[in-house]
Chain A
Amino acid sequence: MTRVWRRILVVVLVVAVAVVAAASFSLGALAAEEPVKLKVWIYPLWLIHSGPDKGMTNEDWMLEKIEEFQKKYPNVDVELELLSWEGGGQKLTTAVASGTMPDIMYSVPVRVYAPKGVLEPIDEYLTESERGQYYPNILKELVIDGKLYALPFCASSLVLSINAELFEERGVPLPKEPDRSWTMDEFLDAAKKLTFDRDGDGRTDVYALGLNGKPAYWAMSFAFAFGGRLFNEDGSRFTFNTPEGLEGLQFMHDLVFRYKVVAPGVPGYNIADVWDLFLQRRIAMVPSSSILTNYVAGMRKPLKLVFVQFPHVKGKDPVTMLTVAGWSVFKQKNPYKRKVAMEFIKYLTNPENSKAAALMKYGPANRLSGNPFENDPNLSVVALYAKYAEVYIKANKPEMEEVVNNIWSAVYSRAMTPKQAIEYAEQRAKAILGYR
């Protein structure tokens, strides 16, 4: 071999070694990506009451998903913490105040936390096709100032839950199939018959309807059915001070004080109290989400639960409120950690994993997950009814929540007439939202 060929061989070998070394180095860098620890907070969402998975909770489901995610990202360590519904909100507030927030959390009140700048906007991490997997009204619920602050996991609409046994006992027909809709007049007739003294001791044993004090949105569909709405499209003005708004509020006032078909003591109840009375068979109808199915399934002797639509005014569409919950990412300094956190919530909400929302009896927010309730006549009504679902409050100021709740609170406690309550709310809305 000549000297020239020997030199060429040396150069080729050196280049080959350099290429192999560079390739190994970059592969090594990918495999040994920096370790990341994600702190994830969740609430108790479901407990399976029967079947082969009896006793399984969403915590078990999460642990499974974490393990799957870690196969793709072995450098990610996920620390899962289960909160309680009673203390979770307070824990989050304290954590935000002290700067010890989780990295990821389910069901963060985005309307409160996004304006404080503690949540990461998700938009830039979503492709157009990923965004297209959600209905616009579902995303709208989680958008503040044009930015998306949670990736939707489940969605549902509120319904009127009925104890069909009490309807049968009083000979009251249920709303007609297939959509179980009924008019205000039909509802009122039924309500009068369903408020009764069973043992003849002069005291009412069963009331037709249960309503709660705060928050008011559970039963707002009754008032909205008359056409009034709280805010304009962009949430900049209070628009409930109209004849339709007043008519709706007056109707609710009359249900409580004129027709006396509502269990007395409305301002003193929260929604859990009202559901308790329903489960004790003391109330025939309550506004609820489809999650009430799980409560009934947990009863020793389950009552006959039927979901129906909120009554509508003749000639108008029924109205219901949309409920959406999703996953949020808190502010991250480290861009890689932020990216991983986004990847994790995208993984939890992909079409396959979103199907788990059905375990809470909620619909998956991801439209590619399909309808898991096709064979359940009760939950199918919820899905059917979802087309009427509206976003609840459109004003982005958290203070408006209190103003809205107070309209109903003032009426239920007779502190104000419906007209006075609406006018007072408008006055405060002008001060908070800053218009004349």
Chain B
Amino acid sequence: MYKDRWGYYFILPNVLLVVVFTLIPIIWSCLLSFQEYMPMGSKWIGLGNYVNVCQDLIFWRSMKNTIYYTVGVVPLGLALCMLLAVLIFPLRKGWQIFFKASLYLPGVTSGAVLALIWVWLFNPAFGLLNYLLSLVGLGPVMWLADARTAMPSIMLMSIVSGLGSTVILYLAALGGIPSTLYEAADIDGADAWVKFFRITLPLLKPTTLYALVMNTIYSFQVFTQIYMMTRGEPFYATSTVVYRIYETAFERLQFGLASAQAMILFVVIVAMAYLQFKYLSTDVEY
């Protein structure tokens, strides 16, 4: 180990960053979750904050909304990304670059800017979406203003704006599948569907698992869209766990309670990731 000490020196800056900006805040937040926070001096209240979270109907409604959002956005988003990747992959390099850049563009745009644009697209009276619907005799849809359509509207925005990085992952994975497998399938007379379901899909499984786990984690942490577009409205229809944590901490200064909510979210995300790895991970070699 002493011989390899230079390696440790090189990773030290990153390790320090993780310790200072991730590990210590997590430990601090965990400690805070057992206290009633007061800026001029907090006091220990044991499991009091956790009891309050368990009794907070709005927190559980937010958890339900978050699960609804995740279940809606992640599988549909992954399916769409895979479809786009499969359609883009056979194209010539120039077109591939064009589509990759187009799809990735929203990813480099600020989430706040995207949200503001979508707010105006969704405007029930003067927005573009309702105008287009009116051309075919439909609408108006209340989009963000109706409890039934608000969350699906945000899901639509998240799916459309968040395709880029996963499409690029899939394209890279498609490039890694040996062409000999497809040639062998051609010799055996397999059609495109069979090749997709018997070769492409199984060999994309590691990428799908990675994208599934990461997108699930991101979806459980959905905040910017909610903060910028609805603030949890209408009547909690779009309130999510992270938004609820934000409200508790930053609008009511209940940092202890907010930390307890964050710890519960942490446990839920870890459990979800564990289950996904347990049931979906396989060793794929090619």
**The one of B40, B229, B230, B236 that contacts A118, using a Cβ cutoff of 8 Å:** B40
In the complex, chain A residues 256-277 whose Cβ is within 8 Å of any chain B Cβ: 263-268, 270, 273, 277
25 intermolecular pairs with C-beta atoms under 8 Å apart: A93-B250, A93-B253, A97-B39, A97-B255, A101-B39, A116-B39, A117-B38, A118-B39, A207-B125, A213-B145, A214-B231, A263-B125, A267-B145, A267-B150, A267-B233, A267-B234, A268-B150, A268-B229, A268-B230, A398-B251, A398-B253, A409-B234, A412-B234, A413-B235, A415-B234
B146 located at the interface, meaning its Cβ lies under 8 Å from any Cβ of chain A in the complex = yes
Given known A398-B252, A413-B145, contact A264–B140 (CB-CB < 8 A):
yes
- Residue with the highest number of chain B CB atoms closer than 10 Å, among A112, A409, A416: A409
**Alpha-carbon separation in the docked complex, A118 to B40 (Å):** 7
- Residues of the B chain whose Cβ atoms lie less than 8 Å from the Cβ of A267: 144-145, 150, 230, 233-235
Partner of B39, one of A89, A99, A204, A270: A99
The 8 A-B residue pairs with the shortest CB-CB distance, nearest first, are: A413-B234, A267-B234, A265-B124, A268-B144, A265-B145, A415-B235, A264-B124, A268-B145
Complexed CA–CA distance, A399 and B253 (Å): 11
The distance in angstroms between the C-alpha atoms of A13 and B108, with both chains bound, is 83
Of B40, B126, B134, B249, most A-chain CB atoms within 10 Å:
B126
User: Contacts of B124 on A, CB cut-off 8 Å?
Assistant: 264-265, 268
Among B37, B126, B234, contact of A277 (Cβ-Cβ < 8 Å): B126
Binary interface encoding of chain B residues 231-268 relative to chain A, with 1 for a CB under 8 A from any of its CBs, else 0: 10111110000000001011111010000000000000
Does A90 touch B at the CB level, under 8 Å? yes
Q: Does A414 contact B (CB under 8 A)?
A: yes
Contact with B along A66-99 (1 / 0, CB 8 A): 0000000000000000000000011001101101
Tally B residues with Cβ within 8 Å of A.
Answer: 34
Hey, which chain B residues are within 8 Å of A415, CB to CB?
147, 234-235, 237
What residue of chain B has the Cβ atom nearest to residue A399's Cβ?
B252
**Cα A415 to Cα B237 with chains together (Å):** 9
Chain B positions within 8 Å of A, measured between CB atoms, are 37-40, 119, 122-126, 134, 140, 142-147, 150, 229-231, 233-237, 247, 249-253, 255
Question: Which of A207, A265, A277, A406 counts the most chain B CB atoms within 10 A?
Answer: A265
Interface size range of chain A in the complex:
35 or more
B125 touches A213 (CB 8 A): no
Q: Among the listed B39, B122, B126, B147, which residue makes an inter-chain contact with A413, where contact means beta carbons less than 8 Å apart?
A: B147
Does A300 count as interface, using CB distance less than 8 angstroms? no
